[in-house]
Amino acid sequence: MPAKPTQFTLQTTDPENLSDAEAAAELASLAAEIARHDALYHGDDNPEVTDAEYDRLVARNRLLEAAFPALIRADSPSFRVGSPPSSAASTGHFGKARHARPMLSLNNGFSPDDITDFVTRVRKFLSLADDALAEFVAEPKIDGLSVSLRYEAGRLVQAATRGDGAVGEDVTANIERVDAIPKTLLGTVPDILEVRGELYMNRDDFLALNAQQQDQGGRVFANPRNAAAGSLRQKDATVTGDRNLQFFAYSMGETSAEIAATHWEFLTALRGFGFVVNDLSSKSPDVDGLLQSYDAIGRARASLPYDIDGVVYKIDRHDYQARLGQVARAPRWALAHKFPAEQAETTISAIDIQVGRTGALTPVARLQPISVGGVIVSNATLHNEDEIRRKDIRIGDKVVIQRAGDVIPQIVRVIAESRSGNETAFVFPDRCPICGNDATRPDGEAVRRCSGGLKCAAQLFEGLKHFVSRDAFDIEGLGARQIEQFITLGWITTPADIFALGSHRDAMAELDGYGAVSIAKLLAAIDSRRQIGMARFIYSLGIRQVGQATARLLALHYGQMDQMMLALNPQADLTAVHAELVEIDQIGAAMADDIISFFGNADLYQIVQQLRAVVTVLPPERPANDSPVSGKIMVFTGSLDKMSRAEAKAKAESLGAKVSGSVSAKTDFLVAGADAGSKARKAAELGITVLDEAAWLDLVSNAGTDSSG
């Protein structure tokens, strides 16, 4: 069975609404998450997510990199193919094999517009006239394991997996047991020839293997691809030979002599050498032809004996392929057109309301369990009451569901024609189903929220889970199960109560699962967090829209928790507070409203004060106090040549400056690049010092070293 997914939330915020710091943090998170999934898929053959979910991660990463090119990371997934060879290769079972030519990955397309853009880019890159012929080959994208086969003098001498694209695992001994792969080629072949293709398992063989594995108490595979990969990596090569693996050849690696001038001719040559080439491959002169091939292959998908997840398009001429070359990890001359996420039909048996950390009431459809993409699905989020109304979703409805990139499945549509008349409309509650407090819907928002705050058990539970999480107080040993138990016992009603759990030591020892050692470890972990940085403290409070980056901005702006609590107390001048907050770079009006709303709530304000009484909040480090911009309020505008604005802002903050997003009378310096616009005019009107890029660089050239603060 697939491994249990980790709790990773794919963000959907428009990049235009992200600060540089938030974008950098999300890119770092995506790089780590995608690398983890690459290792699970290519290295361990045990993916946690569907292809559609993985594609969503990659697409989000690419979107952010396009919006923030200065923040592209050295370890960006855009530069990586697959994953390093699996642990088996490093422990001596499979050696490493370096590819003579890289085994590249493919960029993905999902819509006809993506295919049109691909063909247009290819033709534009090649400077082809409108009437010039440029043919493409369309081939089914087999959902298997990529393998490269090296032949010398017509005999198989090495077989290797893709690995990270440069180095794979040497699986020659096992491949030699696969009957579907020729060991000696037919006809006249070059002295050196690398043939690449996909090793796969037919569905019937997969089902039979799983039945056998289950009977024998062995590993049951999640899907045919995993079964093929697991079968190839057997320590006993005879087991690999018994698994009836199949192989489609589809591309060329290193060769000592030219075989064909086009890819289509190469596929024909492969058949003559003794390889199996997919008969659904076809040649097309334009986008319409490619889309017709895609539709035809898609219609045949269900009846094929093997799994496919899309269609690959390649420009036919090899000289065009050579001219187009590659970018990052993928060739410019090929594209994978992925099929839509797999869908299934089931019935809504009930609709429940879940209450989140910020009080949001989220409707969740309880479904008759159904398998979608190899995963059993029993619930799907309905998002909000408008979504229920828009799709006319009723209890008892038959619906189409899919797992199209969200970990929680979604309902695509209601099958209205299947209604019997016994379906019932869902009435969205105007009171919290957990605590009974009013559930109000602010103007302009789609979400109802419980007004109970931390007096609501659901909000308290979710809020405390966030409070102890890794990026907040990071209290080891205090997880969801313990928090729920301690809330039920009445030991925790606010975050401050966590630091008084020692008073329940004796009672805790009476609970199942709590021995003297585990209790001591838990209380020690709590005590070790009695000092905490100001940014972590702010983040731990769970204020709407305040993530780690914004928490750090607030910490740097106020400097001391005393100053922040004084400025944001419920009796403060809200207009002045709002104006001050929006002057902080990357904090907008809506975020400022949420910050004010949190601290303006007298109950929440008191809870924060209670927490401050039992922990010490450390002020943020302020580096380079003697720098020329230390303590100064700076604004950056326009385009800079020597560094990006993101880099310039980070430099200013590292030197102790406060970076603001708007010009006011409090601004000390405006750094104006090209096309500075209205901010430069306002600075001039207010008599603020305006620096061009050269003057800014000169000002900080001899300043102290950077620090993360």
8 Å CB contact between 336 and 106: yes
Q: Count of CB atoms within 10 A of residue 334's CB?
A: 24
Dist CA 632 CA 619 (whole Å): 18
Is residue 391 part of the annotated active site? The answer reads no
Q: Count of CB atoms within 10 A of residue 183's CB?
A: 15
SS3 sequence of 259-282:
CCCEHHHHHHHHHHHCCCCCCCCE
8 Å CB contact between 81 and 39: no
Dist CA 686 CA 271 (whole Å): 77
Position of tokens 């390649």? 314
Nearest to 177 by CA among 156, 162, 161, 151: 156
DSSP annotation of 137: E
Catalytic residue among 4, 124, 141, 183: 141
Exposed, middle or buried by CB within 10 Å (0-12, 13-18, 19+), for 236? Answer: exposed
- Which residues, 6+ apart, have CB-to-CB distance to 297 below 8 Å? 138, 140, 280, 308, 311
8 Å CB contact between 246 and 198: no
Q: Is the dihedral of CA 45, 46, 51, 57 positive or negative?
A: negative
Largest CA distance in the chain: 89
Position of tokens 């086969």? 149
- Taking each continuous run of H as one helix and of E as one strand, the counts in the chain are 25, 28
The full length of the chain comes to 709
8 Å CB contact between 139 and 312: yes
Residues identified as active-site: 141
